[in-house]
Amino acid sequence: MFGWSSVSSAASLRTIFSMAMAALGFSTLVAVVALVSISHYMHQAVTAMMTATESVHTAEEMEVDLLVHDRMSDGMGRAQLEGQLRGWLLEIRSHVDSVEEERLVDEVAAQVDIYLRQSRQESSASVSGQPPSVDLSPALEDAFLPLEELVHLNVRQARATARRAARWDRIANYFGLGVASVLVLTVGFVLLWIRLFALRSVLTLETAMRSFAEGDKAARAPVEGARELRDIATRFNEMAAALARQYDNQIAFLGGVVHDLRNPLSVLKLSTETLRPDRPPPSADKVQRTLGLVRRQVERLERMLEDLLDAARVEGGHLELRLSQRDLREICREVLDAFRESTNKHELQLSLPEAPLMLAVDPLRIEQVLTNLVSNAIKYSPQGGLVRVALESQERQALLSVADQGIGISEQDRGHIFEPFRRTGASRDLVPGAGMGLFVARRIVEAHGGRIEVRSEPSAGTCFLVHLPKFAPRGA
Ligand code: ADP
């Protein structure tokens, strides 16, 4: 059944206002139709009462004329009155509106005829000097009787019409009250609904927004009220959750950066301790080892800062590609050679096509992508093992893959590793990093019109696939 709660919970602002407008429109239409009908009926009632009054008036005029005629001795005057009487009869007939009235008017006409005939006979007798042979009074009385009845009938009709009009007047009053109540109730319902549901939802939403803006990251708006308001509350809650997540990520990221910076910094500090002037000079061999250590830590710091800078550039949309035709095989060789120098725990394997694979790329950026993937493959294979880099020339694209036999990535984490600041739980404590490498790598590949995907098995290894189209429209 259509109830208040269903209105409050399921209806939309538009539905409620449409319903209110429809109710108001319908009430107005009904009121107009009723007013037209009542005014039409009142007009009919007034016409009926006027006709009855006219009939009564004419019947009384006839009675007067009949009496005057009866008393008159002048022949000319009588003839004139007879004409007038016939005129009244015609008028009375024009007001007839019922069978009974018609019967009475016929009777009046017949009796008046009888009276007039007798009165003519009486006049001709008095002219010839004969004694009057006709007694007029009964004929006059006979003519008066239907006339009186006609008067009573019209009075009765007028009274009945007046009673009906009074009844309609009462109905019109009740009806007016009813329509006014419907209008007031509709307006009241809309106002109450706005007060109870629309306004309350807006207020709670506003409170939640204010709390969130003031720093309460857990503030959420209750999803209630009209559909549009519930949609707004849901959108706000989603936005607040996303912002809170981003905030948490940034805090975690800062923590990670600080943590990751601390390691090379403490190594640097220890190294400088060894070379302090107040200490006995270390052996040339130790100096060499320490300097090597310092160089690696500085490079590591540099790489981290580069990652951060790149991420900032990518986020700000300032990634620019300097495209040139390059053989991808060369880039792969250079990157792998650089890694071979620094690792002896891992076996680095490179598989290249025989023919040059020329592509319009930004060589430094592609190098950055590959470096990042190989560096990850090494980082996340702490036990060592095989890291395989393969380049393949396909019909429409170059396919670059980097596969390792490391810790792998769980299915749940796989969807998030390309997001900025994302570091998966397993790797977080294991290896240093800012969680920016893959985010930047993906943007670089996409800027080349390509895409990057990952396939992985936890504890078995990971394979990143970079698809670079041969004839794609490029844009940074
Ligand atoms: P970082 O390596 O600095 O943490 P990346 O953006 O390069 O940042 O990588 C994001 C996350 O993806 C890493 O923290 C790690 O959890 C996961 N990941 C990337 N490459 C590998 C890989 N070869 N094996 C396992 N996990 C990986």
Whether 378 lines ligand 1, by a CB cut-off of 6 Å, is: no
Pocket flag, ligand 1, residue 427 (CB < 6 Å): yes
Specify the pLDDT at position 143. Answer: 87
CB of residue 377 inside a 6 A radius of ligand 1: yes
Nearest one of 330, 439, 417, 347 to 388, comparing CA atoms: 347
SS3 for 36-71 is: HHHHHHHHHHHHHHHHHHHHHHHHHHHHHHHHHHHH
pLDDT, one tens digit per residue, over 280-322 is 777 888 888 888 888 888 887 887 787 778 777 777 777 788 8
430 has pLDDT over 80:
no
Q: How confident is the model at residue 388 (pLDDT cuts 50, 70, 90)?
A: very high
Ligand 1 atom with least separation from CA of 424: 16
> Confidence band (pLDDT; 50, 70, 90) for 403?
very high
Is the CB of 319 inside a 6 Å radius of any atom of ligand 1? no
Tell me how far the alpha carbon of residue 376 lies from the centroid of ligand 1, in angstroms: 6
Return d(Cα 440, Cα 140) in angstroms, integer.
Answer: 125
DSSP secondary structure letter of residue 326: E
Interval 156-173 mean pLDDT: 88
pTM metric for this prediction: 0.49
Q: Is the minimum distance from the CB of 253 to ligand 1 under 6 angstroms?
A: no
The one-letter amino acid at 164: R
Give the whole-angstrom CA distance, residue 201 versus residue 224. Answer: 6
Cα 409 to averaged position of ligand 1 atoms, centre (Å): 8
Counting from 1 in the atom list of ligand 1, the atom nearest the Cα of 407 is 25
Whether 435 is in the pocket of ligand 1, judged by its Cβ within 6 Å, is: yes
375 Cβ inside 6 Å of ligand 1: no
- Confirm or reject: Cβ of 417 under 6 Å from ligand 1: yes
Ligand 1 mean position, distance from CA 374 (Å): 11
CB of 404 closer than 6 angstroms to any ligand 1 atom = yes
Mean pLDDT value across residues 386-397: 95
Instruction: Read off the pLDDT band of 3 (50, 70, 90).
Output: very low
- Give residue 375 CA to ligand 1 midpoint distance, Å: 9
How far is residue 223's CA from residue 225's CA, in Å, rounded to a whole number?
7
Strand ordering across the sheet containing 451-457: 346-351, 385-393, 397-403, 461-469, 451-457
pLDDT at residue 5 greater than cutoff 50: no
Q: Strand pairing partners for 467?
A: 399, 451
3-state class of 329 per DSSP? helix
pLDDT at 357: 95
Round to whole Å and give the CA distance between 353 and 452.
Answer: 20
Let me know if 337 is exposed, middle or buried by CB neighbors in 10 A (0-12, 13-18, 19+): exposed
Q: Residue 155's pLDDT is what?
A: 92
As given in the structure block, the two tokens for residue 455 are 């396939």
Tokens representing residue 172 in the block:
């019109």
For residue 473, pLDDT over 70 is answered with: no
Report the range of poorest mean pLDDT among 59-63, 178-182, 195-199, 420-424. 420-424
- Fill in the amino acid letter for 239: M
Q: Which amino acid type is present at position 274?
A: T
